Structure 1
Amino acid sequence: MSQPQHLSLDTAMLPERDRLAVWREVYGRLLFNIEIDPIRGFPFEARTELYRLPAAGLSSGWRTPAHFRISRRLLATASDNIVLAVVLRGRAEASQLGRELEVPQGGAVLMTTCDVGRHTLLDRGRHLSVQLPRQALAPLVRNVEDRLLQPIDPGAPALKLLRGYVLGAMTMGESARAEMQRLAAQHLRDLIALICGVREDDVAAQGDGPRAARLKLAKLAIKSRLGHGDLSAESIGALQQVSADYIRKLFRDEGTSFHDFVLEERLAQVHASLADPLKAHESIARLALAAGFGDISYFNRCFRRRFGLSPSERRKAYPSAE
């Protein structure tokens, strides 16, 4: 899938008499292959945002108390996925494979989509989930069945990071690059492995590891936003739901800085544009502004220092750009 798919659902946009029936059909049958039964005394209301990445599905929202079930009759159409369901506000209960678990606020539970089971939000609360194919998790988490319906500490660092990361990933937008989507999905897989108790060194041995994946994601986010006037460690941190200091530290640990990386990428973009015959009619100032330089004198100084020539001298060196 080259583009993420985003869908918003809200019972408030539906006539009250149709809310439950539509939610059961769209959310329950078409999207998640589950049955939905509101708890008595609570008229059904819900709102959710769905976002699909390569090999990962994300959701976040709120709903009134209800049972969400995978019944035996649904198993014939079930996919073989693993779901991490997180309770952001409220309490939940879950049952599957003969096990039962109470999930406190901030906690989570790991379940499958191919076994009879139930997840019940007991309060009017907020939730998020990550769903990915069992085969995607298998290289990292052996015997994943042993991790199902086991208590997950709400204070676990990996769970805290995942909660923020999901909300950040869901803001990437439809224009997010395929590589950025892939890295986000990989990072979520790695975080679920850490939540399952896999050592960080073992996670890193199967890929980039959480920190390296987050750095790559930050770099891709920067490259896609070079022309944005608000590009900063704060804005990139907000996308990933981490602090600006954490983003800066990722770059420092690589031997550079956030500022230097952004500057180098902006200079490289202008340098490439000066050689592009399709942009030969565009002024150098316009190319610099498009790359995010707000001060043309500063741009000229930085360009000469980096490439040893002025921008106009560099353009003249490419006859096809004239």
Structure 2
Amino acid sequence: MTSNDDVSVLKVSSSDIPESERVTRLRDFNCRGEVKAELEIRAGEPIIANLTAHSLPDAHLLLGTLFGAKLVRSRQFVVDDGDDSLVLVFNRSGTIGVTGRGRNLLLGPGDAVLASAEDATTFERFVAGDCFSLRVPRRVLAPIIMDVDDAVMQVIRDRQAEIGVLVDYATSLVREHALATPALRELGAGHLHDLLALVLDPTDDVRESAGRHGAKAARLRKAKFLIVNNCWRHDLSVGSVAQELSVTPRYLQRLFEADGKTFSSFLIEQRLKRAHRMLREPEFVERPVSSIAYDVGFGDLSYFNRSFRRAYGATPSAVRRGAAE
């Protein structure tokens, strides 16, 4: 391992490690350089690894390959370390299986997926190849991507240009030793965050949030973030959000109407999404539906049930049963 102030580099190669020590060294590397996870060895297969991790403030890069083993981030790891980071995994070649949130995904060459450290997840390479990953704290993406949880565990196949720019920029930072000085590190990390946001949400709103254009769009986006992050509050209203933005309630309503929604419909949508996630999470299995409805901001259980069924085509209890099954 090498380090320079607040940046560190970890490298590991199975060709440099005696076979008897490979599992121990790889487990140590994985816990120090990436999200903590257990290394499960596939019986009868040699472990092939050639990995380099670059850690800098609010951004962690991992490049290389791991074959012959499975990475398992169990529920126990999630509970123990409290890590809430998000990681974009880009499969450059070969095939990777990713399991989490009740989904089994297969990433072919050029595919990517966003995973959350708050979920029990497994990663397994079925065909040898290289990958690239970028891990950032949730607080970095939360102000940039609207309801970032919607992007988790969705295969990304249609944003090759955006991914290409992100990967090329990240590898150039490493190749040109641009992370060696504090000023370049801070600038590089900021650029990585913006490029990751464009991969996950390549819309005009995200470009505007990076300063490209649009005061009205910026205000609307800030209003949406305030709602997403505070939708559970029973006192949240168009008036309170408008006051936070230093605009009139009518001006804020017009911003939403121009976007094709009303303030109220957007608020209800976010509360329902929050309830839907809670109903599918094991830690809330003992929580009554009425309690969940209240926790996400609804004061009327009948209205919650009608709105939920209209949005998801199923009752809250049915969604919970489906998640358990």
TM-score, length-scaled by structure 1: 0.60
Q: 1:137, CA displacement in angstroms?
A: 0.6
Query: 1:67 maps to which residue?
Result: 70
RMSD over equivalenced CA pairs, Å: 2.3
* Residue type at the aligned position of 1:19: R
Indicate if the aligned counterparts of 1:19 and 1:45 stay in contact, CA closer than 8 A.
Answer: no
Match of 1:190 among 190, 194, 201: 194
**Residue 124 (1) aligns with residue 128 (2):** yes
Aligned counterparts of 2:76 and 2:51: Cα–Cα separation in 1: 26
- What is the total number of aligned residue pairs between the two structures? 209
Question: 2:117 maps to what in 1?
Answer: 113
Q: Which is further off, 176-185 or 200-209?
A: 200-209
SS at match of 2:130: strand
Q: Report the secondary structure of 1:122's partner residue.
A: strand
* 1:142 equivalent in structure 2: 146
Does residue 158 in structure 1 map to residue 159 in structure 2? no
1:91 alignment partner, one of 87, 92, 95: 95
Relative to structure 1, the CA distance from residue 86 to residue 30 in structure 2 (aligned partners, 3 Å threshold; closer, same or farther) is: closer
User: Once the two structures are aligned, what percentage of the paired residues are identical?
Assistant: 26
User: How many angstroms does 1:171 deviate by?
Assistant: 2.2
Measured against aligned partners, the alpha-carbon deviations of 1:266-312 in whole angstroms (never above 9, x if no partner) come to: xxxxxxxxxxxxxxxxxxxxxxxxxxxxxxxxxxxxxxxxxxxxxxx
Please name the residue that 2:45 is paired with: 42
Cα drift, residue 25 of structure 1: 2.8
1: CA distance between counterparts of 2:63 and 2:33?
Answer: 18
Pairing 1:53–2:56 present: yes
Q: Which amino acid aligns with 1:35?
A: E
Contact 2:179 2:188 in 1 (8 A): no
Residue range with higher mean Cα deviation, 74-83 or 171-180: 171-180
- 8 A Cα contact 1:95 1:119, kept in partner: yes
Contact (CA 8 Å) 1:108, 1:154: kept in 2 or not? no
* SS of equivalent residue, structure 2 residue 92: strand
Q: In structure 1, what is the Cα distance between the partners aligned to 2:99 and 2:211? A: 33
Q: Structure 1 pair 18/154, CA: closer, same or farther in 2 (3 Å)?
A: farther
Which position in structure 1 is the counterpart of 2:85? 81
TM-score between the two structures when normalised by the length of structure 2: 0.59
- Paired with 1:207 and 1:119, the residues of 2 have a C-alpha distance of 36
Pairs within 5 Å for 1:200-215: 200-207=204-211
Deviation at residue 66 of structure 1 after TM alignment: 2.5
Q: Which amino acid aligns with 2:87?
A: V
Asked if residue 9 in structure 1 is aligned to residue 12 in structure 2, the reply is: yes
What is the CA deviation profile of residues 116-166 of structure 1, one whole-angstrom value per residue up to 9, with x for unaligned ones? 111111111111110000000111112111101112116521011112122
The corresponding residue for 2:262 is: none
Partner-residue secondary structure (3-state), 2:184: helix
Q: Secondary structure at the match of 1:170?
A: helix
* 1:266-281 to 2 correspondences below 5 Å: none
- Structure 2 distance, partners of 1:179, 1:201, is 28
Equivalents in 2 of 1:121, 1:111: separation in Å?
16
| Residue 23 of structure 1: aligned partner | 26
- Larger relative contact order (Cα-Cα within 8 Å, sequence gap ≥ 6): 1
Instruction: Flag structure 2 segments of 5+ consecutive residues without an equivalent.
Output: 214-325
C-alpha spacing 1:56/1:97, structure 2 compared with 1 (3 Å): same
Q: Check conservation: 1:88, 1:125, Cα contact below 8 A.
A: yes
Quote how far apart the aligned CAs of 1:49 are: 0.9
